[in-house]
């Protein structure tokens, strides 16, 4: 499969002149180091008792002291060695759980440090008067091959018993992923929901005045760490989407003077056009299995949705009505696509089969429906109400519409990997400044994500492979 | 658009440099004197096909047509403007041009890109209908990315829903 992919890309590259190649790559920065592999290891048989806490999770106290190390050794992950890294791991987990709005975590800076031997048998009296119903313990060990082993344990204070444990081997550069894995383990065990912290976000970083904005493709971890710019900002970049395996990004760039969709290969730092055409292309979307890309193309001013294999080849047109058919988001099983169309006279949301058949309108609320995104759980569709510019959700049949936000202009929802949180961007009136926000599916826990500069067009990827 | 940033940066660094030079100790070599710009050639007006020549010929107000919210129809006022443009392009048959389609900020990004393309094509189609060869007209959409009026109000949005004709030199 990998070989075929490479061959197709090479074929495409060969069909372009050297000059075209130079033009389409001239806005790209240095290629990024590829992420390493995180290996889950057997931490022995964990007990799986029930959780004693019965109440609102917002009130659930969790003590997260520094992770212990058996031997303080040097590691590229922390200039002060594995003992200091153990504290950092606990800080990242504390921030994850606090920023999510659930739980009341207490971090390592106001807690005693457990010893290595206490990780698997906590000294419970030490932790009993700290208002915490849950206790997290963990360790980090430097391995002779330079990698790190990180273990994560969750204990119920009332029962004095272990609820869950897991361990991972990570390259030093990926140490934060071990912390996110631990956050996911705790979150999943206590809420019963699927994990989401160990994931990344692609977005557009914005600077400059409203009539001359610089817009750069950027990526970051789900907590905003490991921030990187992909493009230099010489050309406008818009609407990125991660491939499900995180190896590629598709996005719109004006790099050759026209708005076109490119597929950027993160490993090689090169990009190719999604289709060989002089027509403008917009709105790239991956299928959940990564085998297909949707894009929209305007021909003579009329925009339709197309599908192309991620390996290249012929595009198939899925819509053919007069009007703007654009966007598109696959159902998690890949069998249906929700998209927007103004064929009725204004933006509304429609569902079709993945081959373009059986197109039917699902939004009838009297407001406009734009940028629909199918939840990874399949049971909800998030969209922009483009009459009021609020983020809303509805069922795949268009029922049970709920408004989740009320900014001056909220736009472009994207789902957390577990379908419990929706990210979007909010634009300020007059200044045009934009920022990323997220809100729970319940409409609670609205918060702004910190980014180095203004931000728009977020796209949240799945759980990292 | 990025030229403006570059110019601004150059200007800023020139000013910063000038400020530094004032304080510089005397033993440093003197700053290079700025060479005076070469005297401009005798004014002969903007060249045929330049944007200024086009504007001078048809009038600034006739280079841009405006649209109602979400609309892309060419009304009588737009037709008069486009006919004036068509006269110019018929007179100067060597001049090719781009129609830039734009939308106001009160729309989602991707829809606005498609809407700008639709508006640019509406203007193009009218020009073709009055005799301008289609192969001389390029269209491009900037969606809501390049507003000319910066407020968030009806008057500003009305100015930003536009198709602007720009000559290709």
Q: Tokens in use for B87? A: 């006269």
What does residue A104 show for φ and ψ, rounded to 5 degrees? -120, 85
Domain parsing of chain B, residue ranges: 51-168
CB contact under 8 A, A211 and B5: no
Q: Do A420 and A383 fall within a single domain?
A: yes
Q: What's chain B's average pLDDT?
A: 84
Is the model's pLDDT at B156 over the cut of 60? yes
> For residue A400, what are the contacts with CB-CB under 8 A and spacing of at least 6?
A394
Q: Return the SS3 of A248.
A: strand
Q: Do A222 and A170 fall within a single domain?
A: no
Using CA atoms, how far residue A172 sits from A175, A181, A221, A427, in Å, is 5, 15, 16, 38
- Give me the residues paired with residue B98 across strands: B138, B166
B51-168 adopts what CATH topology?
60s Ribosomal Protein L30; Chain: A; (3.30.1330)
CB contact under 8 A, A212 and B122: no
Pairing label, strands A61-63, A161-170: unpaired
Instruction: Report which of A305, A299, A408, A304 is spatially closest to residue B124, judged by C-alpha positions.
Output: A299
> For residue B95, what are the contacts with CB-CB under 8 A and spacing of at least 6?
B48, B49, B54, B88, B89, B136, B167, B168
Instruction: Indicate the residue of A238, A298, A301 with minimum beta-carbon distance to B109.
Output: A238
Which CATH number goes with the domain that contains A99?
Answer: 3.40.50.10070
> For residue A443, what are the contacts with CB-CB under 8 A and spacing of at least 6?
A402, A403, A404, A405
Chain B CB contacts of A211 under 8 Å are 146-148, 150
- Exposure on the CB side of residue A230, measured as CA atoms within 13 A: 31
User: How near does any CA of chain B get to the CA of A297, in Å?
Assistant: 8
Q: Do A100 and A230 fall within a single domain?
A: no
End-to-end CA distance of chain B: 17
Indicate the length of chain A as a whole number.
Answer: 465
CA geometry: angle A452, A458, A464, nearest 5 deg? 95
pLDDT of residue A94: 98
Helix B109-129 crosses helix B76-91 at what angle (to 10 degrees)? 60
Q: Is residue A442 part of a domain?
A: yes
pLDDT of residue A51: 73
Given a contact cutoff of 8 angstroms between Cβ atoms, the answer to whether A241 and A226 are in contact is no
Given a contact cutoff of 8 angstroms between Cβ atoms, the answer to whether A193 and A206 are in contact is no
Provide Rg for chain A, Cα atoms: 23
pLDDT in tens, chain A (465 residues): 333 333 343 334 444 456 666 788 888 887 776 667 888 887 665 445 567 777 777 789 999 999 999 999 999 999 999 999 999 999 999 999 999 888 999 999 999 999 999 999 999 999 998 889 999 999 999 999 999 999 999 999 999 999 999 999 999 999 999 999 999 999 999 999 999 999 999 999 999 999 999 999 999 999 999 999 999 999 999 999 999 999 999 999 999 999 999 999 999 999 999 999 999 999 999 999 999 999 999 999 999 999 999 998 999 999 999 999 999 999 999 999 999 999 999 999 999 999 999 999 999 988 999 999 999 999 999 999 999 999 999 999 999 999 999 999 999 999 999 999 999 999 999 999 999 999 999 999 999 999 999 999 999 999 999
- d(CA A316, CA A307) in angstroms, rounded, equals 5
Q: Tokens in use for A449? A: 């994500």
Smallest CA–CA distance from A256 into chain B, residue: B140
> For residue A398, what are the contacts with CB-CB under 8 A and spacing of at least 6?
A349, A361, A362, A363, A364, A365
Q: Do A182 and A209 fall within a single domain?
A: no
Q: Tokens in use for A234? A: 């010489």
CB contact under 8 A, B70 and A370: no
- Give me the residues paired with residue B100 across strands: B140, B164
Mean pLDDT of B159-167: 98
- d(CA A376, CA A286) in angstroms, rounded, equals 13
Which residue bears the tokens 């030079």?
B21
CB contact under 8 A, B113 and A282: yes
CA geometry: angle A225, A230, A233, nearest 5 deg? 115
pLDDT of residue B13: 43
Q: Is residue A3 part of a domain?
A: no
pLDDT of residue A17: 58
- d(CA A216, CA A204) in angstroms, rounded, equals 5
Which CATH number goes with the domain that contains A364?
Answer: 2.120.10.30
Q: Which long-range contacts (CB under 8 A, 24 or more apart) does A304-307 make?
A: A305/A337, A305/A339, A305/A356, A306/A275, A307/A354, A307/A356
Q: Do A173 and A215 fall within a single domain?
A: no
Residue A35 CA, distance from chain mean position: 15
Q: Do A238 and A294 fall within a single domain?
A: yes
Instruction: Indicate the residue of A211, A298, A457 with minimum beta-carbon distance to B109.
Output: A457
> For residue A388, what are the contacts with CB-CB under 8 A and spacing of at least 6?
A367, A403
pLDDT of residue A8: 40
Chain A CB contacts of B142 under 8 Å are 259
CB contact under 8 A, B109 and A412: yes
Q: Do A158 and A279 fall within a single domain?
A: no
Q: Tokens in use for A107? A: 């971090």
Q: Do A158 and A306 fall within a single domain?
A: no
Which of A191, A207, A234 is the endpoint of a domain?
Answer: A191
User: How near does any CA of chain B get to the CA of A212, in Å?
Assistant: 6
Is the model's pLDDT at B1 over the cut of 60? no
Q: Is residue A25 part of a domain?
A: no
Provide Rg for chain B, Cα atoms: 21
Q: Is residue A382 part of a domain?
A: yes
What does residue A124 show for φ and ψ, rounded to 5 degrees? -55, -40
Residue-range definition of the domain harbouring residue A54:
39-191
Instruction: Indicate the residue of B70, B72, B108 with minimum beta-carbon distance to A384.
Output: B108
Which of A138, A166, A191 is the endpoint of a domain?
Answer: A191
Given a contact cutoff of 8 angstroms between Cβ atoms, the answer to whether A250 and A241 are in contact is yes
Mean pLDDT of B103-110: 98
| pLDDT tens readout for residues B41-70 | 556 789 999 999 999 999 999 999 999 999
Q: Is residue A6 part of a domain?
A: no
CB contact under 8 A, B111 and A324: yes
Q: Tokens in use for A417? A: 């990997």
Instruction: Indicate the residue of A257, A298, A408 with minimum beta-carbon distance to B114.
Output: A298
Is the model's pLDDT at B4 over the cut of 80? no
Given a contact cutoff of 8 angstroms between Cβ atoms, the answer to whether A285 and A328 are in contact is yes
pTM: 0.88
- Exposure on the CB side of residue B30, measured as CA atoms within 13 A: 3
pLDDT of residue B20: 40
Q: Do A206 and A275 fall within a single domain?
A: yes
Q: How many domains does chain A have?
A: 2
Q: Do A326 and A244 fall within a single domain?
A: yes
| pLDDT tens readout for residues B5-19 | 444 444 444 444 443
Asked if B114 is an interface residue toward chain A (Cβ–Cβ < 8 A), one would say yes
Mean pLDDT of B161-168: 97
Q: Do A173 and A209 fall within a single domain?
A: no
């Amino acid at each position: 499969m990998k070989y075929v992919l490479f061959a197709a890309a090479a074929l495409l590259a060969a069909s372009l002149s050297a000059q075209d190649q130079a033009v389409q790559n001239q806005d790209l920065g240095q290629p990024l180091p590829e992420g390493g592999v995180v290996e889950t290891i057997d931490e022995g048989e964990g007990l799986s008792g029930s959780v004693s806490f019965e109440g609102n999770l917002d009130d659930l106290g969790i003590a997260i002291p520094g992770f212990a190390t058996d031997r303080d050794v040097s590691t590229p992950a922390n200039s002060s060695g594995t003992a200091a890294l153990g504290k950092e791991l606990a800080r990242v987990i504390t921030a994850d759980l606090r920023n999510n709005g659930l739980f009341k975590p207490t971090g390592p800076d106001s807690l005693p440090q457990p010893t290595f031997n206490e990780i698997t048998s906590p000294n419970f009296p030490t932790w009993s008067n700290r208002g915490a119903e849950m206790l997290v313990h963990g360790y980090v060990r430097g391995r002779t091959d330079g990698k790190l082993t990180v273990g994560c344990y969750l204990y119920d204070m009332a029962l004095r018993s272990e609820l869950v444990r897991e361990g991972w081997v990570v390259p030093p550069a990926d140490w934060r992923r071990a912390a996110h894995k631990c956050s996911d383990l705790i979150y999943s065990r206590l809420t019963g929901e699927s994990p989401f912290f160990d994931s990344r976000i692609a977005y557009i970083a914005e600077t400059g005045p409203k009539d001359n904005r610089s817009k750069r493709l950027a990526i970051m971890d789900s907590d905003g760490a490991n921030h990187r710019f992909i493009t230099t900002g010489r050309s406008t970049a818009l609407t990125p989407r991660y491939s499900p395996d995180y190896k590629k990004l598709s996005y719109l760039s004006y790099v050759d003077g026209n708005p076109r969709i490119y597929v950027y290969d993160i490993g090689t730092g090169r990009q190719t056009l999604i289709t060989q055409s002089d027509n403008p292309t917009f709105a790239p979307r991956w299928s959940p299995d990564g085998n297909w890309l949707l894009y929209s193309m305007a021909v003579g001013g009329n925009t339709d949705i197309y599908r192309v294999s991620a390996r290249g080849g012929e595009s198939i047109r899925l819509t053919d009505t007069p009007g703007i058919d654009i966007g598109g988001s696959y159902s998690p099983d890949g069998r249906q696509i929700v998209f927007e169309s103004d064929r009725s006279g204004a933006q509304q949301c429609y569902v079709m089969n993945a081959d373009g058949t059986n197109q039917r309108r699902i939004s009838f609320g009297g407001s406009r429906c734009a940028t629909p995104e199918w939840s990874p759980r399949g049971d909800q569709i998030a969209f922009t109400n483009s009459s009021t510019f609020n983020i809303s959700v509805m069922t795949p049949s268009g029922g049970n519409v709920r408004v989740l936000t009320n900014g001056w202009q909220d736009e472009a929802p994207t789902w957390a990997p577990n379908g419990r949180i929706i990210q979007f961007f909010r634009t300020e009136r007059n200044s045009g400044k934009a920022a990323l926000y997220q809100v729970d599916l319940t409409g609670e826990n609205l918060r702004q994500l910190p980014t180095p500069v203004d931000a728009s067009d977020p796209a949240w990827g799945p759980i990292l492979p | 658009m990025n030229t403006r940033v570059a110019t601004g940066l150059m200007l800023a660094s020139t000013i910063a440099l000038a400020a530094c030079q004032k304080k510089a100790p005397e033993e440093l070599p003197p700053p290079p004197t700025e060479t005076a710009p070469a005297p401009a050639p005798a004014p002969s007006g903007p060249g045929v096909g330049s944007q200024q020549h086009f504007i001078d010929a048809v009038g600034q107000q006739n280079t841009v047509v405006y649209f109602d919210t979400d609309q892309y129809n060419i009304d009588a006022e737009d037709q008069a403007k486009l006919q004036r443009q068509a006269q110019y392009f018929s007179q100067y048959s060597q001049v090719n041009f781009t129609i830039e389609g734009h939308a106001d900020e009160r729309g989602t990004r991707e829809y606005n890109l498609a809407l700008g393309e639709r508006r640019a094509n509406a203007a193009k189609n009218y020009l073709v209908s009055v005799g301008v060869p289609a192969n001389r007209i390029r269209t491009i959409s900037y969606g809501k990315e390049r507003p000319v009026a910066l407020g968030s109000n009806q008057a500003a949005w009305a100015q930003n829903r536009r198709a602007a004709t720009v000559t290709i030199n």
